Amino acid sequence: METRPFQFTGRIRSFRYAIAGIIRMVRCQHNAWIHTIATGVVIAAGFFFQLSGSEWCWIVLAASTVWTAEALNTAFEFLADATSPNFHPVVRNAKDVAAGAVLITAVASSVIGAIIFWPHLKGVLKQ
C-alpha cells in the first residue's frame, strides 16, 4: 500500500465528504429527523435555563453519542443493504442489534437530560 504525502486540500475534501454523509443521513433516516428536533429542543432549553459549563459538557456528550450511534447504524445499514439486497435473517439480526445500540444511547442520553434539566424545571414550576 502506497502512502501519500499530507495535503491540506485532501483534508478539506475529507471534511466535505463527512458533511455530505451527515446530510445524507439526516435526509434519508427518519430517526435522524427525531434526533435533529430533540437536539434543537435540548439546545434551546439549555440556553433558556442558562446551563453551567459542566452541564453543557454532559449535554454535548449525550447528544454526540446518540448522533454517533445513529451515523454508525446508518452506515451499517447501507453496507448491509449493498452486500445482501435480498432478505436474509442474519442481516436483519445485525441491523436490529445496530438499531438497539442507538436506542441504548438515546435512553442513556434522556436520563442524562432528565438529571440535568429536572432541577431547573423544578425551579420554574415552583414560581
Is the pTM of the predicted complex or chain greater than 0.95? no
Q: What would the pLDDT profile of 72-95 be if each residue is shown by its tens digit?
A: 999 999 999 999 989 899 999 999
CA–CA separation, 9 and 11 (whole Å): 5
Closest C-alpha among 105, 38, 118, 97 to residue 68: 105
The domain segmentation of the chain, as residue ranges, is 9-126
Q: Is 2 assigned a catalytic role?
A: no
Looking at 2, 55, 70, 77, which residue is catalytic? 70
Q: What would the pLDDT profile of 12-49 be if each residue is shown by its tens digit?
A: 889 999 999 999 999 999 999 999 999 999 999 999 99
Q: How confident is the model at residue 2 (pLDDT cuts 50, 70, 90)?
A: confident
Domain boundaries 9-126, corresponding CATH code: 1.10.287.3610
Is it the case that residue 6 has pLDDT exceeding 90? no
